[in-house]
Structure 1
Amino acid sequence: MLRNWGAAAICVIALGMGAGVAVAQPGSPSGLPGTVSADVRLKLERDGRLTVTEVVTVPEGKSANRVVPLRIAVGGNRDRVYEVVDARVNGEGTTTASADELAIALRAGTSTVTYAVVGVVAQIGDTLELRWQPASGWDTALDSVTVSVIAPDAPRSVNCLAGEPGTATPCTTAELGDGRGVRATEIGLAPGERVDVAVGLQDGAAPANARVVESSGLAAAFALTPATGVGLGALVLLLLGGAVLLWYLRGRDARALAGDVGPVAVLVADPAGRVAFASPDGVLPGQVGTVVDEHVDVVDVTATIVDLAVRNYVWIEEVGGLDWRFVRRNPADPSLSGYERAVYEALLPDGVDAVLLSELRGRRIDLSRVRDALYADVVAKNWFARRPDAERNLWWWAGVGVGVLGAALTAVLALVGTGALVGLVVIAAGVALALGARSMPARTKRGSALLEHVRGLRGYLHTATPQDIPEADREMVFSRSLPYAVVLGETERWLAAFAGTRPGLYWFGEAEQGGDLGRFAHRFPAFLGALDGVLAQAGHLRSLRG
């Protein structure tokens, strides 16, 4: 007898090793220890209600939680809505059901969850179909899921899918049983994966009670629909059109800055052979800076004051090596432009014939009129279509306004539940306008041409030498060119080129003495720095040079 028992034991061991049979563990129907498994039984009643019984086994030391959405998107901004009632747990756990979801929380042990679902039967074409997800939304892996379905009449078909939501992978097994039943099995279900069962029913087996409603909430509000698609497309085309226009206008300036500089006639000779300086397109020093960088800067005013001295409206003299005095030589006349007159009157108001630079620091002169007049000048000369500062402000505030409008539109459309994407694009358009405001003051065609000529003027200032100018005309050409060197950042080079010559200066010098060019080249940068500092204190203008 012992011999027979030994033979039997050997056979069992051999079969277990060859076939990989595992010894079943208590509480683990799948035969694997420490795993969660579910046995789900579905019964469709004649009235269309689906009663569900879930028997779930959770191993010791673990928990399992399931959240089932009861509103599932079916496309076209529509949701299929289920209703769960009479949810209960018999065992270690709890369950709650709301309009939006069914929540199940289970602890270790075997628990039975029961509930009823309304809305599982739908008429799809000529076919009546029962559809439910007997396993979904688990936060832990399931070793196995077994499903059984009982219908009032013999089912016609069964389709069981398993895996990530949206995939079409079939379940491990799914078959029509005898009589009114359906059986399905899925081995190994990862957290978040689902088992989706669709059973074709006999006509009249149960009333169709599926509810399909329009989507709601933020997801629906921001969903892409044909209507929002058309709106988005129109807005995108508008943005692209604006970008192309700005690229074209700015591209004209870029070509003026990047191309080869053509010949610019800066030095001109009269029939008697005298050489004089002539700026391109009659541009004045202050106007040069504004055309180049589209801002009225301190250096533009500084260069204008130097130019007024060169043209005999003002005499500049050094006082004690630490200060400078501005003395009225000639009154402002009609040959001065609007902004030059504003500079002259800010420097030497009516009744003031002389002023020290140190006194101007205490006076805190107001240059807002200079700024306005200079912007008006560059528009009057047709170098800009509109004031650059007003253009920037207009587009910045337009961008802010469009952005605020887009935010309000997004909020309203989100509350309404549709088309909120259009509001987001309007916000993006507003941000683009605000950020692009600095690039908006595009020059006119004439302004772009002047920009190219200014490059030629800079080249002249960078390369000209005293030997290019007859000695008799050297003082005048040097002086008339100097304000342009100041505004274009070529002062140091221009002074160095002429410092070795000895012409007198008719507009700058020490008190009661004519100007000496050697000393002038040494002291003039200090004068410019002091004047820039005083003008920067006046406010209203950018203080950067060039």
Structure 2
Amino acid sequence: MLKNWGAAAICAIALCTGTGAAVAQPSSPAGLPGTVNADVRLKLERDGRLTVTEVVTVPEGRTATRLVPLRIAVGDDRERVYEVVGASVEGEGTARASAEGLTIALRAGISTVAYEVVGAVAKIGDTLELRWQPAGGWDVALDSVKVSVITPDAPRSVNCLAGEPGTSTPCTTADLGDGRGVRATEIGLAAGERVDVAVGLQDGAAPPNARVAETSRWASAFALTPATGAGLAGLVLLLLGGVALLWYLRGRDARAMAADIGPVDVLVADGAGRVAFASPDGVLPGQVGTVVDEHVDVVDVTATIVDLAVRNYLWIEEVGGLDWRFVRRNPADPSLSGYERAVYAALLPDGVDGVLLSELRGRRIDLSRVRDELYADVVARNWFARRPDAERSLWWWAGIGVGVLGAVLTAVLVLVGAAALFGLVVVVAGVALALGARFMPARTGRGSALLEHVRGLRGYLRTANPEDIPERDREMVFSRSLPYAVVLGEVERWLAAFSGARPGLYWFGEAEQGRFADRFPAFLGAVDGVLAQAGHLRSLKG
């Protein structure tokens, strides 16, 4: 005990009689080997500036970084503002000060950090208070923190707090030294914890220079905090998870249509040597377009009209080279799918046996039933688990709902001055969900397999040679394949391949013989235009 009292007496004498050199050169911090330790000397000058010297020991193989905020909230809409000038490091590291904070980054060894603080002296009633955090914001644990404070006049009180910001746990030791000194020690300061020292002084010891700034509710509400930072990180993880899920659900589809593939065998021969066209998985032309792009498009209906003519339900006749007539050949029977019957009824309603395409331009065709039947059809064929349009709509409205909820949450958080940035995170998540709704429809395994077959079908349309088909079967193979060429955008290639080998067509009447290859693209364009005017369908494939 006598030894301890002797040490205390020596410290008191040193504080009272210490020279400027002693102030500038604090002793190296002591501590256990392999630990981070800090020895901090604070000196309040007569002009109110606080000079700070930190001697920090960092063991070999380690680094230490300190982030000191210089704007500290002291109320709902007020901040205490400090200013740090002249930050420097003697040793292994760097120090940089900005209006928002002081950053100290140290490497292994003993480093001396020096800087000045303006704004540490506040007027409280008829006394002054010197306040600063000599330790805090370190990203590593400190084995020990030793603090000494020298003031122009004898200090009247000292209050030292240690631990998490906002806690009121006292430091391990804190006392007034003889004369002008204050000493404090904290043993074992965890990463992120702080030591906060407040020294009471008599009025006149130094001019008060504390500055308190008003903060807008908006600025504080949208400040980046650990909570909002965690929310942003969570959003990134959510978006990455969504991308991974979409890749899993749709990656096989993207691979299925990404590159060329060899043609599939869609020509079948019977025992008598006749050759016929058979589509993969029995898919119809309108179904092909819907499975490929998950939308019912105008071209899907146009291809269906051509297919109905090829299968002898309709007769298409060119009239004067500028118009075309649709004539009923056979009634719609149960062998037609629901969407095909809807297309048939839209062109030739009950009691109408023929109609000009020009007449359809003036008649409002309702294709909503065609759309609904075709979406239902691809689900019934197990190419989609749910209707693609319903799936898109569900996710779009879900995104809108989340976005609106986020906007309301943002407004509420702004009003109460809380972390409104979290509400913006919810808004962004909702917008991302709404924008990603078009990617949500996912094909089944059978639907993805069909895409592979469609690639092969496209390869067949691009490479088929009429000479490989018996002459007596060429008209039928050409005609049965043509609707698929329409929906897959291979009409020009298909017409060119059969231009010299195609006999007269049984389902299309030409105003002038031999002009089918020239006039058929104009027919398709005219039909697309009429159907696009009807609405309910997309005019272009997406």
TM-score between both structures, scaled by the size of structure 1: 0.62
Counting aligned pairs with the same residue, the percent is 79
Q: Report 1:311-322 matches (<5 A).
A: 311-322=311-322
Distance 1:152 1:407 in 2: 55
Distance in 2 between the 1:199 and 1:283 partners? 82
Deviation per CA, 1:216-274, whole angstroms, max 9, x where unpaired? Answer: 93444344556555555544433332221112112111111235635522111112221
Measure the CA separation in 1 of the matches of 2:258 and 2:126.
Answer: 70
Q: Give the aligned partner of residue 344 of structure 1.
A: 344
Against the structure 1 CA distance between its residues 199 and 387, is the aligned structure 2 distance closer, same or farther, given a 3 Å change threshold? closer
Specify the alignment match of 1:487 in structure 2. Answer: 487
Aligned to 1:371: 371
The one-letter code of the counterpart of 2:401 is G
Relative distance call for 1:352 and 1:81 in structure 2 (3 A) is: same
Quote the residue 2:105 is aligned against. Answer: none
Check the 8 A contact 1:406/1:425 in 2, yes or no.
Answer: yes
Partner SS state of residue 494, structure 2: helix
Query: Could you give the per-residue CA deviations for residues 361-392 of structure 1, whole angstroms, max 9, x where no partner exists?
Result: 11121111111111111121122222222222
522, 525, 528: which one pairs with 1:529? 525
User: For the structure 1 residues 498 and 221, does the alpha-carbon distance in structure 2 shift closer, same or farther, using more than 3 Å as the test?
Assistant: same
Tell me, in whole angstroms, the C-alpha distance in 2 between the residues paired with 1:374 and 1:381. Answer: 11
Q: Establish whether residue 520 from structure 1 lines up as the match of residue 526 from structure 2.
A: no
Greater shift in the superposed pair: 290-299 or 462-471: 290-299
Paired residue secondary structure (1:418): coil
Counterpart of 2:534, as a letter, is A
Matched residue SS, 1:524: helix
Q: Does 1:436 align with 2:436?
A: yes
Q: List per-residue Cα deviations over 1:259-301 (Å, max 9, x = no partner).
A: 5635522111112221110111111111111112222111111
Q: Where does residue 470 of structure 1 map in the other structure?
A: 470
Within-5 A mapping of 1:120-519: 130-131=130-131, 151=153, 217-223=217-223, 228=228, 231-258=231-258, 261=261, 264-510=264-510, 516=513, 518-519=514-515
Deviations 1:462-510 (A, max 9, x none): 1112101111111110100011111111111111111212522111114
**CA offsets 1:434-453 (integer angstroms, 9 cap, x no match):** 22122222222222211121
Distance 1:300 1:428 in 2: 36
Change (3 A) 1:500 1:402: same
Counterpart of 1:242, as a letter, is: G
Tell me, in whole angstroms, the C-alpha distance in 2 between the residues paired with 1:263 and 1:464: 9
CA contact (8 A) 2:461 2:490 kept: yes
Indicate yes or no: 2:513 matched with 1:544. Answer: no
Distance (Å, rounded) in 1 between the aligned partners of 2:515 and 2:368: 34
Compute the displacement of 1:118 (Å).
2.0
Over 3 Å counting, the alpha-carbon distance change for 1:472 and 1:120 in structure 2 is: farther
Cα–Cα, structure 1 residues 200 and 471, in superposed 2: closer, same or farther, change >3 Å?
Answer: same
Q: Secondary structure at the match of 2:276?
A: strand
CA RMSD of aligned residues (A): 3.9
Change beyond 3 A, Cα 1:493–1:42: closer
Q: Distance in 1 between matches of 2:327 and 2:417?
A: 73
Query: AA paired with 1:73?
Result: I
Separation of aligned partners in 1, 2:235 and 2:538: 36
Using structure 2 for the length normalisation, give the TM-score. Answer: 0.62
Q: Kindly provide the amino acid, as one letter, of the partner of residue 282 in structure 2.
A: G
CA contact (8 A) 1:346 1:367 kept: yes
Report the Cα offset of residue 153 of structure 1: 5.2
Distance 1:201 1:117 in 2: 10
Structure 2 CA distance, aligned partners of 1:441 and 1:427?
Answer: 23
Question: Cα gap change, 1:523/1:252 in structure 2, threshold over 3 Å: closer, same or farther?
Answer: same
SS of corresponding position for 1:492: helix
* 3-state SS of 1:326 partner: strand
Q: Which runs of 5+ in 1 are unaligned?
A: 1-38, 44-70, 83-114, 123-128, 133-147, 157-177, 182-197
1:427 CA displacement = 0.9
Contact 1:395 1:433 in 2 (8 A): yes
**Cα 1:200/1:538, change in 2 over 3 Å:** closer
**Distance in structure 2 (CA, Å) of the matches to 1:202 and 1:493:** 94
How far 1:344 moved relative to its partner? 0.2
Contact map agreement 1:382 1:446 (CA 8 A) in 2? yes
1:481–1:119 Cα change, 3 Å: farther
1: distance between equivalents of 2:71 and 2:125?
12
Paired positions, count? 382
Q: Structure 1 residues 272 and 243 mapped into 2: Cα distance closer, same or farther (>3 Å)?
A: same
